[in-house]
Amino acid sequence: MGEPTEITDVDVSKGLVGAKRIAIIFFVVLATMVAWRVYQQVFAWEKGLDSFEAEFDVYWMNLLYTQWILEFTAAAVVWGYLIKTRDKDVFNITPQEELQRHFTLIAWLFAYVWIVYWAASFFAEQDASWHQVTVRDTDFTPSHIVLFYGVMPCYILAGVGSFLYARTRLPQFAKRLSIPFVIAVLGPFMILPNVGLNEWGHTFWFMEELFAAPIHWGFVVLGWTALALGGLFLQIIPRMVQLTQLEEELTEDMND
């Protein structure tokens, strides 16, 4: 503690992205999403049309409760682990270590946006299609259970995880808060609580299913906040340039 670690001669530039790590994230998320989608294909039409039937409880409400338990457990474990294993000597890490941790942060961000795609694009628009084949008799439809209470909590898990990782592992983020990072994580996080407004509106006024109805615009405004990832990268990039500067001016052809 306190002693700056010696710079070693290890070449850190190889394998920074961690192709294996990225591939694992990619395929785990993909497999999870496909599993949800297949489950819907199999059981939505058969067991998901009438929420007052006993089989709806078995196939859909039980899925909902299972998801809730798994999500709360996963959030407690992942976030708790990140905080528990925080680097208590974070201001004394080597430049090599800091560079590698930046790429780990970027892997977290990749997991975050890869799930955001499934939530905000795939399953969100899927909900529009289900609204057109049923007149819903519950707030917990087969598409809502997966979208609001399955996929959205997943990206919140990854988003907050990325924030905690940076806060506990990277000197730049440990000593102060990045406002664009807060916005890019907290805004999409708030899409889930905004379901409160949405269902309240749908429950007390029959809004038909106009998808562009004003009751949905809360989601839109919160979706805009994902653009703040641009600001975050504008904070990350100068630091990485500092970490990769060379003693003397060298130029190399980067066009390959």
Segment 145 to 204, residues that bind other proteins, using CB under 8 A: 171, 176-180, 182-183
131 phi and psi angles, rounded to 5 deg: -60, -20
In the window 234-253, what residues touch other proteins (CB under 8 A)?
234-235, 239-240, 242-247, 250-252
Nearer to other proteins, 12 or 75 (CB): 12
Q: In the bound complex, what is the minimum distance in angstroms from residue 73's beta carbon to other proteins?
A: 26
Least distance to other proteins, CB of residue 152, Å: 11
Helix (H) or strand (E) holding 127: helix 124-131
Is the CB of 75 or the CB of 240 nearer to other proteins? Answer: 240
| Among residues 82, 106, 164, 166, the one that binds other proteins under rule CB under 8 A | 106
| Length of the chain counted residue by residue | 256
Tally Cβ neighbours within 10 Å of residue 16: 13
- Our finding on whether 61 is near other proteins (CB under 8 A) is no
Give Cβ neighbours of residue 106 (< 8 Å, ≥ 6 apart).
236
Among 88, 243, 71, residue whose Cα is nearest residue 161: 71
Which residue stretch of 52-60, 64-72, 79-87, 215-223 sits at the interface with other proteins (rule: CB under 8 A)? Answer: 215-223
Look-up of token digits 């007052």? 52
Question: How many CA atoms, within 13 angstroms, populate the side-chain half-sphere of residue 33?
Answer: 25
Count, residues near other proteins per rule CB under 8 A: 83
45 and 148 in contact (C-beta within 8 Å)? Answer: no
Contact call for residue 79 and other proteins (CB under 8 A):
no
Distance (Å) of CA 150 to CA 55, 63, 171: 20, 9, 33
- CB-CB contact of 209 with 141 (8 Å): no
Query: Between 76 and 175, whose beta carbon lies closer to other proteins?
Result: 175
Q: Confirm or reject binding of residue 224 to other proteins (CB under 8 A).
A: yes
Residue number with CB closer to other proteins (9 or 54): 9
Beta carbon nearer to other proteins, 69 or 210: 210
> Minimal distance in Å, beta carbon 45 to other proteins?
9
